[in-house]
Each structure stands twice: as structure tokens, then as C-alpha cells.
A and B are shown apart, each in its own frame.
Chain A
Amino acid sequence: MTAALLLTALALLGLGIAACTAERTFRVALALQSGGAALLAVCGFWALAAGSSFGSAFSGAFAPRFGVDGLTAFFLGMLGLVAAPTLLFSARYLDSRPRGRLVAGLTGVFVLTLAEVLCARDPLTFLGGWELMTLLPAALILIGRSDEGARRSVFLYVAVTHIAGAGTWVAVLLAAHAGVFGGASVLARGSGLQVAIALAALVGMGTKAGVMPLHSWLPRAHPIAPAPVSALMSGVMIKVAIYGLVRVLVDWLGVLPLWLGVLVLALGALSAVGGVVYALFQHDLKRLLAFHSIENVGIIVLGLGACLLLRARGADTWAALALAAALLHTLNHAVFKSLLFLGAGAFERAVGSLELDRLGGLLRRMPWTGAAFLVGSLAIAGVPPLNGFASEWLTLQALVHVPAYGGLGDGLAGALALAALAATAALAVFCFVKVVGLVLLGPPRRPSVADATEAPIPMRAAVVALAGVCVVLGVVPGLLVAPLARLAPWPASERGTLALHLPGTGSLPTVGIALALGVLSLLLFVMRGRRVAAPAPTWVCGQLVQPQLAWTSAGFTKPLRLVLEVVLRPEREITVRTTGGVVQEVAYSGRVPHLIDERLYAPLVRSGLVAARHARRLQSGHLGTYVWYLIALVLVLLAAAKAGLIG
């Protein structure tokens, strides 16, 4: 039954892709694709709730196999949930863009590829889909724009994900070789093979997920893609890498040594804090959102790290809950991040550029999109009663239970990760207050923004639907937590309730909190009575209120930049032009350099280029030289064979 539904959903998607070829059927095509994705969401969550699995099981043999189990079903549901509104949004977003039909068709193929990776049950199909999943967005970006900057970014994206992505190949092939692909046999805890597979997976899949310090491609590639593609990349593609990590680290490798759990926690904490700190100092909305993806992947990885540590300490119930926390945050982030990217796309379509300091006042001009964007911002900032808070709460609980069950070392690691997550949450509030203020509130900061009009109905419907999902997932997260905790390969039972009542916590009655906040706010608002408000100009110590006094992104984040100066090393330059002792002009420019790029990658790239220059000397172009090379090689090999080193 579910299998038939799933096949119908995929067939609808395929039909929609085919229909993209003709101009006349463009809208129908996207409606078909969107419907297929919605059906995919339904059968994914259905299969998760029913706990059903169908199709083949995992096998290390190299023949194409497909199947669905609980974990796959959850990720398929997430893919459908994000893809359906995104494709609906594309119907109006892409029709006015150059080569829109091609982009729409390939977007559908991208969705199918992601589904293929999730359903793959043998190493070859998995790796093939994995590579296609990397290449398709590159193609989608280059179809949309082919300027120098975009080509450079895409080259960097493909290069980084392929060099580090080799880790995925190593992990998957080693796992297939050792017979743990699918978790059929068990490796000894802490054995070389187990650790090697885990580390290779962390490098390969961590790169694809955007875990710091392997994230360098993410903030370059995500912002330049068309909005629906950005939404799918940030919302789902990096989550498929999380799926891979969960499969390898939690599902297949058994109990890992403690230090690996601590390493995963450290990577998560670095990504969470690093991602949000750099996001704060971005001036372009989409680039800022891309850095926030790194932050949220960090939070997910923190949940995974807690799961590994608690599992290693034998606290199975909390390990399962930590896994549920990571997966719940994966879903929540998929929803609010695609909402924010689609909202940014709608704003871009309405006003042109997304430079933060030159927007403003969009809540009044685009009330539907603006309100949905506000909901998404509150969700990503992790404030109750929205979904971001529910999963951050569960992650915090998982982390606080690490010291409760742990020894000194892993306990302290858990406490530090807890502090890092709390600081991340506060920084995310900081960042999204800034975004909301600069984009939605205040006066428009540029004439074209003042003339902005609301987006067409399909685009509006897409973002409003996602905002609705944010609210629903925030109010009833408890229904999902129990099935997610059951996905753990060890026995752990959690009963599902509407709210989150967990032993050892003060419980999170999400419905009660939402009601309390809603009812109290409304009550207080009504109690204040009819406003007899005097209109007045803003108080700026008696000065005239002028547009030049408007605050900028850089101004708002300055205190934090000063506090973090030691770590971030911001650069600023002030040039004063004077004539005859009178100051004519003061020019200020400042930026926060990306330290990991400049201190880690730039030297690597430089030394790589230097090595290449030296290697080039070998290529003289004379036939005689190459003959000598061959003779030397043969001699060396003979000598080695003689010495017994080879053969």
C-alpha cells in the first residue's frame, strides 16, 4: 500500500519533469511535481508512524537494490514536505527567469536524486546517487548565471566536495568490504576498521553537511543558486548527508569509543558557534542564511555526539532521545530554512537585491510573505512556542544528560557543548532580530523597496504553508519524538504524547506553553484598552530624524564584534581626506575576514600551487627526458624487487 503510494508519488514527479519540456504545460508540470512531492511527504511520514519497511534490505553486493525503512521513510517525508511548497513556489518564481523551464525540470530531477540516495540499498547505487546529488546543484547554478564569480564559486564547491567527499567513498566501500554495510555484522569496539570507517564518514559526509572546518563551499554555493534550489540544498541536500552520518555512526558501526563521541561533539560545537558568529557579520541575506545552515547542522551534530556518548555509557533511553533530538532538529531546520530561503527569493523578486542595509519596511508592503518570514525567523531563533525551540530543548536535555551519565572527560565535554548551544541560541536571537529589523521593519531604505508589492498567490501560499508547519511542529513535537526514538537500532521505548514529558526533566508541555503565551499576550493586549496614543517623532536628543541616521547591520553587531575582536580579528580602514587642514571626507570600510578560509585553506591552496609549479619542471617536453624517466623508473623497480620490497 505505502509502496504503491510511493511509486505513484515518484511517477507524478517524473511526469512533471517530462511536462517541463513544453512552454504550454509549464504550470501543469510544476503542479504535478508539487503534488508528487506532497504525496511523498504523506507516505514518508505514514511509513514512519506505522513503522513499516518494504523493498530490499541493505546488501554489500554491487547490484542495484532499493528499499525503505523507518529512517529512510522519515527523510523521504522531510524531502516531500520541503519539496512540495518549494516546487509550488517555483511555478511563479521561475516562469519569468531565463531558462526557467530547464531549471524547473532539473529541480525535479534533483528531488528524485535525493529520493534515490535515501532509498539506495547497495553501495553502488548509493555512491552514484551521492555524486549526482553533488553535481546537479552545480549545473542548476550555472544554468541560472554564468558570470565569473558564480563559475569560481561552483568550481570551488565541486572541488571541495569531491576532494573531501572521497571520505564517503572510503567509508562506504570499507563498510561494504567489512560486511557492516547495513549493519549485518558487528565490529569490535575501538577496532582500527571501525574507527577508520567512522572518521572517513565524518570527513566525507561532514563536508557535504557543511560541518566546520569543512564547510568552506557552503556559504559560496548556496546563495548564488535560484531560491527554490537554495531551499532544497539547505533544506534537504545537506540533511541527506546527515542521513548518511546517522546510518554509518549510529546504525551500522555499533558502540563507538568515547573519544569519537567527544570529537563529534567538538565538531558540532565549532559549527554551531562558528556558523552563527559569521552569520552575524554578513551583509547579504542569502549568504547570512547559508551560514545559519552551518549553525543548525552544528546543532544536529551536537545531538548526534550526545547520542554516541550516551550509547557508549550505556544510557540507552537517553541515547535514543538524543538521536530523536538530532532528527527532529533536522526536520525543523529543513522546514524553517526552506521557508526563509523562499521568503528571501520572494523579496529578491520584488525589490532586486538582498543587501541587508538597503531593504526595510517589507512587513507592511508584503504582509503575507513578511509575516511568514517573521514566523520562520522566530523559529530559527529558537523561541517558544515554535518548532526550533522544541528541538533545541530536546538537544539541550540530551547534552545535560551526558555529564549525568558520564565520567570526568566526556562529562565536561557535554557541559561545554551545553554552554556552546546556549550561546548559539542567544546569538541566533541576535542575528534574526537584526534580519527582521533590517528586512521587515522600519522605513524602506531605498526607493525600489518602497514600491515593493506582494508576491503572487502560489509563492505566498508556499511560504505561508511552511510557516504553518513551523507552528504545528512547535506545538505537537511529542508525536514525532516517540517514532524517532524508536529508529535507534537498540531497544528503547518511548510513548508518544502531544507534549514532551520525559523522565528526569521538568517536561515541555508545548501545548500549554503555546496557550499560555498566546492567551496571556492577548489578555494583556486587550487589558491595555483602547490606545489614546499621541503620534510623535522618534527621540534622537532633539536632532532631526534623517535617513542617514538609520542603523546598519554593521552598527548593530558592533558591540559583539568588539567583544570577539581577539578571536575574529576584524579589519577596518579609515581614510580621511583633508584640504587645507579642513576634513572634506571620511571613508570607513570594515570587514570580518573568514579565519578558517584565510588561515587554514589559503595556505593549503598556496602550497598546493607551489608544489604544482615545482612538479611542472619535470614536464620538459623533450622526448629524451621522458625516456630517461622510464629507464630510471624501471631501474628503481628492479632494485626494489631485488631488495625484496615488492613482488
Chain B
Amino acid sequence: MSGASIVSAAVELGGGLLLAPLLPGLVQHWKARLQGRRGPSPLQPYRELRRLWGKSAVDPAGSGLVYRWAPAIVAASVAAAVLLVPVAGRAPGLGVGRDMFVLAGLLALARFAVAAAAWDVGNGFSLMGASRDLTIAVSTEATLVLALAVGALVAGTTSLTGMVAGTAGTAVWANPALALGAVSFALVVVAETGRQPVDNPDTHLELTMIHEGPLLEYAGRDLAYLQWAAAVRHWFVLVLAAQVFLPHARSVWLQLGTLPIALVVLCGALALMETLIAKMRILLAPRLLALGGIAALLGVASWLVQLT
């Protein structure tokens, strides 16, 4: 195994499992600055996790095994997704393969677990959040798969490592396919990380919650797992955005070197968007995502036109 692949694996595991909470922290920090507030430090998510780790859990009346296991299963599936998503074009396999469709499957498992836990509690607000989350997920998943399919067509493989390597350099940008895929993936990033205009992570009003809703009843270490999982989602969708849908270098070392810069820039973009755009009506979000799907389809078409 070469040095580059060992370092890639180390960055992937260390970044995904340990540094992920920094990403939502950065977004919140900059968002506050852009709104003229001082805001929390970027390390605030770590403090939250430490606080929650010391607190006791809550078992709502009537809840059972599903409610108790759900946080562990959600955290396990996003951890498996970290093993799946490579940070560079020569990352070694970490036991779960590198396939893009597996990512969609793992996200579906996490969604199933959270929504089933909401049913186990039977809390109206949790279920409201879960049902909205599942509704939006329909168009998110279709758009995610289409956007990644554009990347797969360009790279000639559905392996994520192959996609990072195959979309490197500037030659692939001669065709508009990848740019259209990037537009579509940008919407997926917003939906998967639960950011405005699809969802508002800062809301404290139960009626407007989407991703926060099903977590309402959780406390203590359960909630810590779920919040950590939300942060890890930021990690792997932003890594994919940076290493597939943004221009990146061919050299693995350069890819690893520019990744932090790209992640910081993407966090800044999310903060800017959260400041400029208000949350949209829930029923309009699927339409926005469907537009992303159409962009990806145009990407596929433009790639096919070039081939024929």
C-alpha cells in the first residue's frame, strides 16, 4: 500500500469520525457573523456533544426496543457511509466497498430507523417531522442517484473512488455534463444536511421541524449520537461535492491538500445561503429538488450527445 492511500484512509476516518462536527459549527459561526451577531465558536457542536454525553436519557411512556436501538443504528449507518465515501482518488477499500448506490441504501436505513422510532413514541410532532422528511427524501434520493449517475457516466464507473479519480483535472469540464451534475448535487447537499431553504436547523418551533422533529423525545447520549450523525452527514456530502463536483487536481496529494480549503469554502457557501434565502414552503421543496433532477438529466443528455 502506498503512502498516499494510507494517508487517504487516515484522513477519511479521522475527518469523518472526529472532525465532522466542526463543519456544522463553522456554518453556524459564519452565519452568525453574516447576520451581524457574534455567535458561537466553531467548536460549539463538540461542547454540545460533551454536555449531552453527561446527561441521562429519557424513555417516553410506551416506547420500546425500536426507540432504544434507533440512535445506535443511525450512527452506525452514517459511520458505514464514512467508510464508503473516499477523500481521494486512490483510497483503499475499507470493507464496505466504494459504490455510490450503497450510499443511498445506508441513508435509507438511517431514515427508516429514525421514522420507526418516531412511530414507537407516537408523538405527533415526531411523526409530523418524519413524514415530511420521508416526503422530501423521495425527490432527494432520485436527484442524488441521478447526480451521481452523471459523475459515474463521466468517470466510467459507479465506484466513488473511480469517480474522484475520473473527474479530476480540467478536461472533463469541457462538456457541460459535470457542471449540470454539480447544480443538481448542490440541491442534494442542502436537502441532506437539512439546511435552508429546505429545512431550518435552528428552529425551536415543533410545527416547522423536519429533521429535528423525530429527535424531539431523545435526550442524553441518544441525542448525542443523533446530532453526531447529522454532523457526519455534512462531512460525506460535502466531501463528495468537493471531490467529484468541484474541479480538483489529478495528484492524490494535491487532492488531499485542497480538500480542507474546499470544505471551508462549501461551509461558507452554506452559511451565505442560509443568510440570504428564507426557508421555503415544505410542499415546494420536492419541486425544487425535482428541478435538480432535471438538471442532472440534461447533464446525462449532454454527455450522450458528445459520445454519439
Contacts and interface: CB of A to CB of B under 8 A. Distances in A.
A529 B221 contact: yes
A524 B101 contact: no
Contacts of B65: 363
A313 B28 CA distance: 51
Contacts, number: 276
A523 B71 CA distance: 12
Contacts of B222: 528
Interface string B258-284: 000000000000000000000000110
A412 B121 CA distance: 44
Interface stretch (A89-97, A238-246, A288-296, A432-440): A432-440
B57 A437 contact: no
Contacts of B138: 423, 426-427, 430, 560
Contacts of A509: 93, 95-97
B180 interface: no
A505 B72 contact: no
B61 A506 contact: no
B244 to A, nearest CB: 13
B76 A397 contact: no
Contact of B122 (A400, A499, A538, A557): A538
A441 B152 CA distance: 40
B203 to A, nearest CB: 15
Nearest to A551: B127
A67 B138 CA distance: 45
Contacts of A411: 300-301, 304
A536 B58 contact: yes
Contacts of B76: 516-517, 520-521, 523-524
Contact of B112 (A378, A421, A507, A560): A378
A644 B152 CA distance: 64
Interface stretch (B2-10, B128-136, B193-201): B128-136
Q: Number of contact residues on A: which range applies?
A: 35 or more
Contacts of A541: 125, 206
B84 to A, nearest CB: 8
A533 B131 contact: no
Contacts of A419: 142-143, 145-146, 293, 297
Contacts of A505: 99, 157-159
A521 B301 contact: no
Contacts of B153: 400, 403-404
B56 interface: yes
Contact of B72 (A432, A507, A525, A549): A525
Q: Number of contact residues on B: which range applies?
A: 35 or more
A420 B141 CA distance: 10
Given A400-B149, A426-B138, A512-B96, A520 B305 contact: no
A442 B122 contact: yes
Nearest to B56: A532
Contacts of A393: 99, 101-102, 105
B134 A563 contact: no
Nearest to A433: B115
Nearest to A393: B101
A639 interface: no
Most buried by A among B66, B143, B145: B145
Contacts of B124: 540, 549, 551
Contacts of A513: 80, 96-97, 102
Interface string B29-48: 00000000000000000000
Nearest to B59: A533
B143 to A, nearest CB: 8
Contacts of A420: 142
Nearest to A518: B76
B102 A426 contact: no
B137 interface: yes
Contacts of B77: 517
Given A433-B119, A505-B158, A563-B286, A426 B95 contact: no
A406 B59 CA distance: 54
A422 interface: yes
A539 B214 CA distance: 12
Nearest to B80: A516
A257 interface: no
B97 A538 contact: no
B112 A429 contact: yes
A104 B58 CA distance: 50
A433 B304 CA distance: 38
A154 interface: no
Nearest to B221: A528
Given A408-B301, A433-B119, A437-B116, A536 B97 contact: no
A507 B99 CA distance: 6
A378 B97 CA distance: 21
Given A433-B116, A506-B159, A412 B300 contact: yes
B109 A506 contact: no
A287 B222 CA distance: 37
Contacts of B112: 378, 381, 383, 429, 432-433
A389 interface: yes
B130 A433 contact: yes
A539 B308 contact: no
Interface string B96-116: 111111101110110110011
Interface in B230-258: none
A384 B106 contact: yes
A423 B142 contact: yes
A533 B58 contact: yes
Interface in A347-368: 363-364
Contacts of A540: 123-125
B248 to A, nearest CB: 18
A545 B127 CA distance: 14
Contacts of A545: 61
Contact of A539 (B125, B152, B301): B125
Contacts of A396: 101, 145
Given A423-B139, A551-B122, A528 B225 contact: yes
Given A422-B142, A436-B119, A517 B109 contact: yes
A288 to B, nearest CB: 16
Contacts of B69: 521, 525
Contacts of A556: 127, 130-131
A508 B97 CA distance: 6
A528 B105 contact: no
Contact of B119 (A415, A441, A523, A563): A441
Given A426-B108, A506-B157, A517 B282 contact: no
Interface string A489-508: 00000000001000011111
B308 A408 contact: yes
Nearest to A419: B142
A415 B135 contact: no
A261 to B, nearest CB: 16
Contacts of B217: 538-539
18 contacts: A363-B66, A382-B108, A384-B109, A397-B158, A403-B149, A419-B297, A426-B138, A429-B115, A441-B119, A504-B159, A507-B97, A516-B76, A525-B69, A528-B71, A531-B59, A534-B57, A551-B119, A562-B283
Interface of B: 56-62, 64-66, 68-69, 71-73, 75-77, 79-80, 83, 93, 95-102, 104-106, 108-109, 111-112, 115-116, 118-125, 127, 130-132, 134-135, 137-146, 149, 152-153, 156-162, 206, 216-217, 220-222, 225, 282-283, 286, 293, 296-297, 300-301, 303-305, 308
Q: Which 10 A-B pairs have the closest CB atoms?
A: A437-B119, A506-B99, A506-B159, A520-B76, A506-B98, A422-B145, A521-B76, A426-B141, A524-B72, A559-B135
Given A506-B161, A521-B73, 9 more contacts: A392-B105, A415-B300, A418-B146, A420-B142, A509-B97, A516-B76, A517-B80, A539-B60, A559-B282
Interface of A: 363-364, 378, 381-384, 389, 392-393, 396-397, 400, 403-404, 406-408, 411-412, 415-416, 418-423, 425-427, 429-430, 432-434, 436-438, 441-443, 499, 504-509, 512-513, 515-517, 520-525, 528-529, 531-541, 545, 549-551, 555-560, 562-563
